[in-house]
Structure 1
């Protein structure tokens, strides 16, 4: 799994999940398509849909983007009142077709379909226990571990079984589960992974982000609470709150990088948080410059905030080719470096003879940042100053975000001055941890483990 991660300079997206319960079975699969399309940024490796068709569960999934996998003929033939969908970036299990989701399993009372965002830190030990008990696994994903545990212990009551399994599994998770009669949403006790509830005139919606609720023509109702189970059926929505206390630990990188800027997660507008981070960054590390621009696209709101706080013009110094392949798939260093130039190009006339500030949301390995700085200097910029709208990434994430081992994280292996020399910038400044937290304008708890090593639970020790 880690080979490809070392070749890219960003944290990788997690996964995106949606669920639809509708009184209009003719549009359910279309709604799932729209929801997954809105969540495509969360995973580009595989996509899939499962739907209740007359009391039976059918599904279709494959490697590729939503528009490639869920073609019109697939959507047209899948009709039913309940459906779930998934887009994936592999964080547990390899990037293979059999690991695509939703995962459909058969048990003594019928079928279940699962779609999962997140990662379990004790999945391997639970898998080993199940295998010792004779269970045969078809995939290498931790979702199948959970599905087996839920199915084996249901005794006809899936909700009760899910509740019991939630007390055993450890890690970050948001699930949508489909039975032959119900749509169920589940969020981990810390609220590490996002999940929200929406409503349409014909039913209810679940999604990783509120932008998907909007894309499905729904009205955002609320975020699912940490540790909460919601059951949606013909009687409406039932909520089962957890009695187990755990301090909320929403993933900070949802606001830094992962989520779409038009989403609201746990009461925080993602765009506003990134914009505020840019303003905080300007106060902490101002530069007398001629131009501010971002590494598109996730750095743009922070760049606008930085620009407006200091009164420096904001412009487009870098243009992104949205159809370029990801740099990590190139087979050698020379082609990887060319891959950055394929993805990004510099507007020479905009940066020439100017002192510029480049704003990015984060740096993981530093290799791409170094190439961008060199490209801007080669285009004639007099000075290149780098500002990062989050603190250095110093620790690996074990909760569903792909980060390399610590020795590959530039923030863990180099000082700020050494990072400046490595990327060959005239200066660099990372936003402080307090500045990042304050940018959310929220008093809720956040998981900051990748920034300070303070994990909300015990994690593997193989960094």
Structure 2
């Protein structure tokens, strides 16, 4: 199958402190609700106050865990993780939670991480020079080891030591033998929220995970805050000074988060509807109907229809299980391409002038196939509308997008992109329209992938990406030789 043109999120995290509850089962269903944030691996660690139990594996939550695993994972504290690899490959050793031993007490620390550090290689080299051995390639293990060696008599002092050294995006849930921490980086790049249940607390990447469990959302973890939950209750503290700039990722609103989640106090669904309505104002075109590319663009398509007065219809049906299997497609199935993922409704589209709303165009590999599918269903005209501005720069804060050389909008004009995807017209939402739709102050948002202006220094990461790109032909050639039986 062709490489997906969708941006990929780093991970989903979930933590619970709830004496008397089946915390492993709660975490299983919490991760199930967060499955959209990562499908490569899943893991749960629990503590009964004395001992840790851990289960991790490759695949979806439903593939990794069974009743026997949940029976093994006993305790009243748990942390869980869904992973999509950004820093570190899709390997079993990178499945989280990561467990390391505290260098002061010898007790285990379990950590689950959503985000991406921009200085992880420097920190790793420093830790290796101190004799620390790594068992994974993920930057999350760097955070765990930093916490394990951090000096100080209190956990507030230890987090101060760690957070002064970390650069980049990190929303964390951390489990000790007797307590749970929820941590968010000072810029607040990735979401993290808190809910209450009886005499316990739950932390999750998105509020939808709380609502599935019937847990009322209390509030979000504030940027730069560490929340501690233990037998004495709930407390929060700020180990480092506030960041000069907050940088909540706008892709949480356009694509990553589920539409029934609240991010920054704003329900995502109406934000996406507003993006579509603003897109209709900015890029109107006469047409017969509006459709959305499932699933993330459906609310925006409804908003475009509302703003333009053009009827909304479902013209594409998504197979939600494509890519969720370990069975590899043969060549004939691979050549079917995007038609494996979507089916076009010819009775709806035939003879119609169609506006197609989607959330982004990254490499420009999938969109031409979607448009071709719609044309084969009989559409007379296809007008593409995108709820984000053109993506011109890679992300270094937890989104696996592409290198600058791979980003189509970084290398082609909008007219050239229109010709490439085969649309009759193409319109992108402006940055101002996107920012206004989120309901957040523009200065509190990260739009680096649209502007090239990052909230922190990412030169090291850019150099690393460019070096990797330059090595690619060599690696591909070596792989071809190996498959051919060469040296």
Class of the TM-score when normalised by the shorter of the 2 chains: over 0.9
Q: SS of the counterpart of 1:248?
A: coil
**C-alpha contact 1:327 1:340 (8 A) present in aligned 2:** no
2:63 aligned to which of 65, 68, 73: 68
**C-alpha contact 2:156 2:237 (8 A) present in aligned 1:** no
Q: CA deviation at 1:156?
A: 5.6
Q: SS of the counterpart of 1:177?
A: strand
Q: CA deviation at 1:433?
A: 0.6
1:42 aligned to which of 31, 37, 41: 37
Q: SS of the counterpart of 1:309?
A: helix
Pick closer, same or farther for the CA change 1:328–1:458 going to 2, 3 Å. Answer: farther
Pick closer, same or farther for the CA change 1:187–1:329 going to 2, 3 Å. Answer: farther
Cα distance in 2 for partners of 1:58, 1:139 equals 19
The answer to whether 1:143 aligns with 2:147 is no
Per-residue CA deviations over 1:124-172 (Å, capped at 9, x if unaligned) read 0111111122111111111111111111124563442122110111000
Q: CA deviation at 1:327?
A: 12
Moved more, 277-286 or 143-152: 143-152
Q: SS of the counterpart of 1:408?
A: coil
Cα distance in 2 for partners of 1:254, 1:328 equals 28
Report the RMSD for the aligned CA atoms in angstroms. Answer: 1.9
Q: CA deviation at 1:334?
A: 7.7
Q: SS of the counterpart of 2:9?
A: coil
- The aligned counterpart of 1:386 is 384
- The aligned counterpart of 1:101 is 96
- After TM superposition, the runs of 4+ consecutive aligned structure 1 residues lying more than 4 A away are 326-337
**C-alpha contact 1:151 1:158 (8 A) present in aligned 2:** no
Q: CA deviation at 1:54?
A: 4.0
- The aligned counterpart of 1:12 is 8
Cα distance in 2 for partners of 1:389, 1:330 equals 32
Gapped runs of 5+ residues in structure 1? none
2:24 aligned to which of 29, 35, 41: 29
**C-alpha contact 1:105 1:112 (8 A) present in aligned 2:** yes
- The aligned counterpart of 1:194 is 191
Q: CA deviation at 1:106?
A: 1.5
Q: SS of the counterpart of 1:350?
A: helix
**C-alpha contact 1:45 1:64 (8 A) present in aligned 2:** yes
Pick closer, same or farther for the CA change 1:328–1:425 going to 2, 3 Å. Answer: farther
- The aligned counterpart of 2:484 is none
Cα distance in 1 for partners of 2:52, 2:203 equals 18
**C-alpha contact 1:7 1:327 (8 A) present in aligned 2:** no
User: What does 1:35-434 correspond to in 2, within 5 Å?
Assistant: 35-107=30-102, 108-109=104-105, 110-154=107-151, 157-241=154-238, 242-325=240-323, 336-434=334-432
Cα distance in 1 for partners of 2:365, 2:429 equals 20
Q: SS of the counterpart of 1:222?
A: strand
Q: SS of the counterpart of 1:407?
A: coil
Pick closer, same or farther for the CA change 1:12–1:327 going to 2, 3 Å. Answer: farther
- The aligned counterpart of 2:477 is none
Q: SS of the counterpart of 1:105?
A: strand
Cα distance in 2 for partners of 1:246, 1:173 equals 17
Q: CA deviation at 1:246?
A: 2.5
Pick closer, same or farther for the CA change 1:327–1:301 going to 2, 3 Å. Answer: farther
Moved more, 332-341 or 403-412: 332-341
Cα distance in 2 for partners of 1:333, 1:194 equals 40
**C-alpha contact 1:184 1:230 (8 A) present in aligned 2:** yes
Pick closer, same or farther for the CA change 1:116–1:216 going to 2, 3 Å. Answer: same
Q: SS of the counterpart of 1:140?
A: coil
Pick closer, same or farther for the CA change 1:70–1:182 going to 2, 3 Å. Answer: same
Q: CA deviation at 1:426?
A: 0.3
Cα distance in 2 for partners of 1:332, 1:271 equals 38
Gapped runs of 5+ residues in structure 2? 467-487
Cα distance in 2 for partners of 1:333, 1:255 equals 36
Q: CA deviation at 1:216?
A: 2.5
Q: CA deviation at 1:277?
A: 0.1
**C-alpha contact 1:53 1:78 (8 A) present in aligned 2:** no
Pick closer, same or farther for the CA change 1:337–1:412 going to 2, 3 Å. Answer: farther
Cα distance in 2 for partners of 1:397, 1:380 equals 37
Cα distance in 2 for partners of 1:30, 1:395 equals 40
Per-residue CA deviations over 1:298-327 (Å, capped at 9, x if unaligned) read 010000000111111111111111122279
Q: SS of the counterpart of 1:94?
A: coil
Q: CA deviation at 1:112?
A: 0.5
Pick closer, same or farther for the CA change 1:133–1:446 going to 2, 3 Å. Answer: same
Per-residue CA deviations over 1:218-249 (Å, capped at 9, x if unaligned) read 11011111100000111111110243343211
